[in-house]
Each structure stands twice: as structure tokens, then as C-alpha cells.
Amino acid sequence: MLLLLMACSSAQPAGALDWEQAIETWHYTDPLPDLPVTDHTGAARHLHEWHGEHVLIGFIYTACPDAQACPMTTARMAQIQREVPEGTPLRFLSLTLDPARDTPETLSAYAATHSADLATWTFATGEPELMTDGLPSLFNVLSLPDADGTLDHTIKLTLIGPDGRHVAEWKDNAVTTADVLSAMR
């Protein structure tokens, strides 16, 4: 395996790993790989754009029928966004688990419905396999589609530090603004 990784890294210039290779070679204690996403405006973005700030990340999908899952995750993030003191270096990132339905336009409408302040909050989609398997795997989020089109998934918010490393996580939306601010210290 080491020889394969060395061969892959020598065949491509530094930083040219595709997202599948970046995820495969990532270790939990490393900073998150610089993965490509598309934001709610349709703009191409990369996860490293938010280095230097804490980022609160949640996985959602806009058609989620369970009020205690994605709608609650989004409501919790909106509450935290409203309550953090102005100037706090905290960004919010909602990543869809349903890129086939959650287009940038759909994510933008969802953000408006939930009164998200898009000055510090990004809703993002991306390549289907990246959003359904790759990114969730980095956060130990499991998502399984049901026959009716719903997704059963882990409910978790994760705080990433300014260096791109994991700081804290909260399951089942059990997080307060005080929890996030405390973890940022």
C-alpha cells in the first residue's frame, strides 16, 4: 500500500490528488483535505477556504421529513449563528447528503427558509459520490437511502479548528452556543 501511495504521489504534482485519493490517504488527526464543493450560489469552493476560522459543519438534506434530524440541525446552527458574539471567527457549513436533489438553487431556498445569514454560512453540494460517501466518511456520518427516497443518517455537528483539524462534535443536535464557544477556546 505504501508503494502504491508513493507511486500515486510521484505521478502527480503536489496538491493534485483527486478527492478520492485525498480521502483514502487522510488520517483522523490530519487537517481536512482541501475538497471541492459547490456552494448555494453555484460557485466552486474548497474546504481550505475556511482555514483560519472555526467551522461548524452539519450534514443535511433539504427533503428530510424528520423534524428532529436535518430541520433541527439547521435550526440549531441558525440559533448558534444568531447567538455568537459579532466578530467571532466562526463559519457555518451545511453539506448535503442528497446532491441529486439538493442543487445550489434548492440549497439557497432552504437557507432562506431557515433564515440563515449567508454572510457566514455556506450550504454546499458536490459530486454525488463525494457528498454521499466521501465527506460523510471523514466525519463518521453514515447515510443509507430508504426505498421511499428518504435518507437515514447520523445526526452530528462537528467543529473544525482554524488549522482544519477536528475540535469537537455533538450528536443528535445536543449542542448549545455555549458548548461551541467553549470548544473554540
Tell me the pLDDT tens digit for each residue of 120-148: 999 999 999 999 999 998 998 988 888 88
| Alpha-carbon span 69 to 157, nearest angstrom | 11
pLDDT value for 14: 38
Neighbours of 17 (CB within 10 A): 18
- Measure CA of the first residue to CA of the last residue in the chain; give whole Å: 38
Tens place of pLDDT for every residue, the chain, 185 residues?
233 333 333 333 333 347 777 777 776 667 889 999 999 999 999 999 999 999 999 999 999 999 999 999 999 999 999 999 999 999 999 999 999 999 999 999 999 999 999 999 999 999 999 999 999 989 989 888 888 888 989 999 999 999 999 999 999 999 999 999 999 99
C-alpha cell at 87: 466578530
pLDDT value for 22: 75
C-alpha cell at 63: 427533503
Nearest CA among 94, 96, 93 for reference residue 128: 96
Domains of the chain, with CATH numbers? 32-184 (3.40.30.10)
For residues 179 and 49, is the Cβ–Cβ distance under 8 A?
A: no
| Alpha-carbon span 13 to 103, nearest angstrom | 32
pLDDT value for 24: 77
Sign of the dihedral defined by the CA atoms of residues 42, 43, 49, 53, in that order: negative
Angle (CA) 80 142 82, round 5°:
5
Q: What is the 8-class DSSP label of residue 48?
A: G
pLDDT value for 6: 34
pLDDT value for 144: 87
Place of cell 500515486: 8
The pTM score is 0.86
pLDDT value for 28: 64
For 97-117, how does the pLDDT look when each residue is reduced to its tens digit (9 = 90+)?
Answer: 999 999 999 999 999 999 999
